Amino acid sequence: MTDLDFVGALHRALDAAPPYALPTVLSAVLSESVGAKEVALWLADYGEVTLERVTADLDPDAKPSLPVDDSAAGRAFLTQAPVVVDDDNGERLYLPVAVRAERVGVLELLLPDSSARVREELVRAAMVVGYVVSTARRYTDLFERVRRRRELILAAEIQWELLPVLAYEADELSVAGALEPAHAIAGDSFDYAVEADDVHVAITDGMGHGLRAALLGTLAVAALRHARRRGHNVLYQVKEASQVVHDQFGGDQFVTGTIGTIDMSSGVMRVVNAGHPRPWLAHGDVVEEVELFADYPLGLFPGIDYREQEIALEPGDRVLFVSDGVMEATSPAGEEFGSERLRALIAETRDQLPTEVVRRIARAVVDHCQVPLRDDATVVSVDWRPRLRRR
């Protein structure tokens, strides 16, 4: 006898359980309610290269892991759709665990006998798991530790903590970002904030490497956020952040960035280019670098003025922001990744999910280099679809 009303019960049970008991409780509830066996929770590693199994006792040497690009679980993760594999003992299901567009991981289970209704309920159960894990991250290190395939250096710890949720999606807007860190960490970051009338987007690159670059980048992002959260516009955010960075680092170190706000009704993007590579625009099948004049990086000089420029987006347009670590990533033969490769990839992934677009570009940069990156490579993709807008 199958009880199909278990999603609420699952949520209550997971909510009451301590984080380390989450895999056990998940398994117990799914076993009792739908007869699921071999329940496993997999979380994506930071680079979305592997899926790592969550177990209560973390043994870093014996962590089972699956390749994202070459496994049934990976397929569910990449496509964000359930994958069903026939098994001698029933059906093996791989269900995407996500929070909106943020791909968190995969729920795997074996069902001796299943129906379409049970599968549908299990898709909802996987969604609950996404929200529970996402919240639990704030009071336990368990999930962060699972997601690390190797130890992070301190600069990387700072850099990851600074990032927002890596993807957001609603009817009228998609945002996704990927950051592929250099071996020694090179100060890249990105940020966004969704509001009723606007979406704020920023990509930043603090000069140098290691801890100092991470501290520099952190200060710039915090200063931009601080001004933004006080209701100030892009121009003010940039001027204030530049001054704050200059006050602390005395002009010896600076931060490049593209900081913008998209008006959600009109699609007009107001943007400041502080010495950063230009953004890219995908409009229909056309992919172009956006002409923007460059102002000085943040923190280079005290009290300087910045200029706000406008980009008029049309419904369905996709804007991509990249750091110089993408274009300048160099192969062992000395060839730069370059804008033509980037343009081709943006065109090729035009119909894909924004999360997949940024992952593909980040992977392409890593594959091109074949060795640990010398500079961070960051890409942020924003889709504006006002026709679907609801208030």
> Would you tell me which residues interact with Mn ion (CB under 5 A)?
205, 324-325, 375
The answer to whether 278 and 289 have CB atoms below 8 angstroms apart is yes
Which of 232, 182, 177, 229 has the alpha carbon at shortest distance from 202? Answer: 177
In the complex, the smallest distance separating the C-beta of residue 346 from Mn ion, rounded to whole angstroms, is 19
User: Closest CB to Mn ion among 50 and 378?
Assistant: 378
User: Closest CB to Mn ion among 127 and 245?
Assistant: 245
User: Closest CB to Mn ion among 299 and 325?
Assistant: 325
In the complex, the smallest distance separating the C-beta of residue 106 from Mn ion, rounded to whole angstroms, is 33
In the complex, the smallest distance separating the C-beta of residue 95 from Mn ion, rounded to whole angstroms, is 38
User: Closest CB to Mn ion among 317 and 324?
Assistant: 324
User: Closest CB to Mn ion among 240 and 324?
Assistant: 324
Interacting residues of 123 by C-beta distance below 8 A, sequence separation 6+: 82, 95
Residue position matching structure tokens 């019960």: 9
User: Closest CB to Mn ion among 11 and 276?
Assistant: 276
Helices (H) and strands (E) in the chain, counts: 11, 17
Q: How far apart are CA 193 and CA 326, in angstroms?
A: 24
Q: How far apart are CA 290 and CA 311, in angstroms?
A: 8
- How big is the CA angle at 314 (ends 309 and 320), to the nearest 5 degrees? 65
In the complex, the smallest distance separating the C-beta of residue 237 from Mn ion, rounded to whole angstroms, is 21
In the complex, the smallest distance separating the C-beta of residue 377 from Mn ion, rounded to whole angstroms, is 8
Which SS3 state, helix, strand or coil, does residue 179 take?
Answer: strand
In the complex, the smallest distance separating the C-beta of residue 8 from Mn ion, rounded to whole angstroms, is 47
Helix residue ranges, H only, the chain: 7-16, 22-34, 72-79, 116-136, 142-146, 154-162, 210-229, 234-249, 324-327, 338-348, 354-369
